[in-house]
Amino acid sequence: MIFLNNISFVYILLFIVAFNLLQRFTSSKTLLNLALLGGSLLILNLLTGLSSLGILLGVSALTFWAGRFLSRKQEGAQHWMLVFIGILIGLFVVKNYSIAELSLLSRIGLSYILFRLIHFLVDSSRKQIKNYDLLSFLNYILFFPTFLAGPIDDYNNFNYWIKQHRRTYRTQLAKAGLFRIFVGIIKKFLFVPIIISYATDFSLFADNDMWQGQLVGSLFLYSAYILFDFSGYSDMAIGTAYLMGIRTPENFDNPYFSRNLSTFWKKWHMTFSNFLFKYVFKPIVTGLSKRMPNAPRLPVSFVGYLLTFTICGIWHGNTLNFIYWGLWHALGLIGFKLWDKYLRGNYQQFLGGAVTKKIHDAAGILVTFLFVTLGWFFFHYSSNQIGLIGNNLLHSNAKELQVTPVQMGALHGFKVTFPATAETLDIEYASAKSDSVSKIHGTPKSEDNSYYLFPAEQEKELYEIKARTTPSEPWQTQLVYLQLRAHEPSDLQQYFFGPPAVMTTLKGNNDHVFLQLLAPELQQQQIEAKAEHIPKYGWAIGVYYLPNPQAKVAIDLRPAGGEWKNYVPNRDGQYAFMHLHGNITFEGESRHLAPGEYEVRMRYVITSTLQSDWFYSTVQIPDYDGD
């Protein structure tokens, strides 16, 4: 992000110094506006291309003139406003949700730009914009400190501060700005690096027997991580704006100390929450109340919550888990409103004295924090991961089943340790990304009770791994992430969270029991060999098989009953077929195979000692008149 890149930081520092010097030598609003716009474009160009910035400038200018049009329109302004907003939302949806590829326009900052544009159009239609200045408006849209993640200022406030020249107040703002930047740096660069790995990957906790306990600990850390990460960035954005004499609104106010969920949303991402209330929730409730004047206020508010937080979830991402997260908070607010209206008065009759009230307030803070923390579960995990975790919450015995990360060459996988009491055991595993389950039943018991899985999909994903000795016994389950590199915690991380889950490095010798080297469909693959005539080459054999980018392919060829000859030892596994040629010349074509029956075999090769079984096929090359 903009404050995290060394080059960006240098540009920002130099620009702030130059901008403050310019303010001392001129009071020209136009010149200062031009300088600020030029600096924002220069800094933002480090994040996105000039073409994207050019498009944003064009869209912003059109929105500015649309706003002026709405401010002068006495009748029909609301209808025109909805048309303009519909166009903006349509462009946002097309780009952000991959409906069409607009290669000239980057996604960076689009969400917050959309909010500013909508605010300007709505307030213009309401005749609430105090001063129309194109340069100020373009700066308002592209102001680099708040461009990526807010705070979401309103145009009137920004335009007011950008034109202030009171040096005493600017000095006070500068001092406050330096302090805010320092606080943001502490959050972003000290606290976040300590907890981020464990907050986003619960399987990194090495000393916890039950993965459910790891998950709970990770959720609490995720609550802290998302607050420190987001509020830290906001602190740096606000502080940077202060250094240029622009007072942007606050974004966080100790939200985890809120006594109820309604208060939480007034303290969490405050400018975003205010936007939702002002431009989404309130119009919905007002519109429904006008259409249904006899409807009770509370159900109308409930519909407003459900629609508003569904939109809130969709804005955060285009997957179902974000809608779950939005609905979680909508239902929470509905529950709080019911409590506040029907139960709170009766409950308060039993409260007496300052101590009891403090206990009540503390309980409210705790319940709100736990509710919000559980909500982050839906925010962080994909819908498939949520399903995998939900299906296994009550099915685990990690004291018997242990799963640790392993690496062999470029392959990453799992070491599964399970003390089987019989001569064979069953193991199954599945990733959250796939609907299929890999079943490895009747595996002979190993001497050290250790087995190795190497999934074909080599990417970080949540896996469910299960083991049992006999079909009559319950499955023992672990949920764990596939690790693509060893986790090397800092001293502080080890102090707080203990030693890391060590990744074992294997050399691929035959003493290991490798359960799964390839996807199940590849293990059962039957190749198909066809006789094919290729113009300018001659008769050849086409060999067709399923590709596997994680492996090489070895192909052998022999005449029926003859000796195998290796045709290709290490063909790239990403290809799905190969042509086998001969060396006979006939009618100007020089790569004919001799007529007759041939046998072809192929296998996947991971390492010299780690290979699949051979897959066989036969084929008949037709007779032709040749020497």
Q: Bridge-partner residues for 334, per DSSP?
A: none
* pLDDT at site 371: 97
* pLDDT at site 93: 61
Whether residue 556 has pLDDT greater than 60: yes
What is the model's pTM?
Answer: 0.79
Q: Beta strand pairing status for 462-468 and 438-444?
A: unpaired
**Options 3.40.50.300, 2.60.40.10, 1.10.10.10, 3.30.460.80; CATH of 520-621:** 2.60.40.10
* Residue 430 contacts residue 462 (beta carbons within 8 Å): no
Exposed / middle / buried, residue 495 (Cβ in 10 Å: 0-12, 13-18, 19+): exposed
Exposed / middle / buried, residue 589 (Cβ in 10 Å: 0-12, 13-18, 19+): middle
Percentage of the chain exceeding pLDDT 90: 34
Higher-pLDDT residue of 437, 186? 186
Whether residue 164 has pLDDT greater than 70: yes
List the domain boundaries for the chain. Answer: 1-165, 255-380, 395-516, 520-621
* pLDDT at site 461: 92
Peptide bond before 151: cis, by omega within 30 degrees of 0? yes
- Between CA 520 and CA 571 the distance in angstroms is 21
Whether residue 107 has pLDDT greater than 60: no
Whether residue 248 has pLDDT greater than 80: yes
Residue with tokens 């299960």: 466
Q: What is the mean pLDDT of residues 590-618?
A: 84
Q: What is the mean pLDDT of residues 114-124?
A: 86
Domain with residues 395-516, CATH architecture: Sandwich (2.60)
Q: What sign results for the dihedral spanned by CA atoms 62, 65, 69, 70? A: positive
Q: Which range is least confidently modeled, 37-46, 144-153, 348-357?
A: 348-357
pLDDT tens for residues 56-67? 888 888 888 888
Give the model's confidence band at 395: pLDDT under 50 very low, under 70 low, under 90 confident, else very high.
Answer: confident
Residue with tokens 């303010």: 23
Domains 395-516 and 520-621 share a fold: yes
* pLDDT at site 291: 86
Q: What is the mean pLDDT of residues 541-549?
A: 85
Of the candidates 131, 115, 483, the one whose C-alpha atom is nearest the C-alpha of residue 315 is: 115
Q: Which residues contact residue 556 at a Cβ distance below 8 angstroms, ignoring those fewer than 6 apart? A: 564, 565, 566, 567, 600, 601, 602, 614
Q: Which range is least confidently modeled, 74-78, 307-311, 326-330, 355-359?
A: 74-78
Whether residue 608 has pLDDT greater than 70: no
* pLDDT at site 512: 54
- Between CA 149 and CA 171 the distance in angstroms is 26
Chain mean pLDDT for the chain:
83
Higher-pLDDT residue of 394, 256? 256
- Between CA 451 and CA 513 the distance in angstroms is 5
pLDDT tens for residues 367-376? 999 999 999 9
Give the model's confidence band at 2: pLDDT under 50 very low, under 70 low, under 90 confident, else very high.
Answer: low
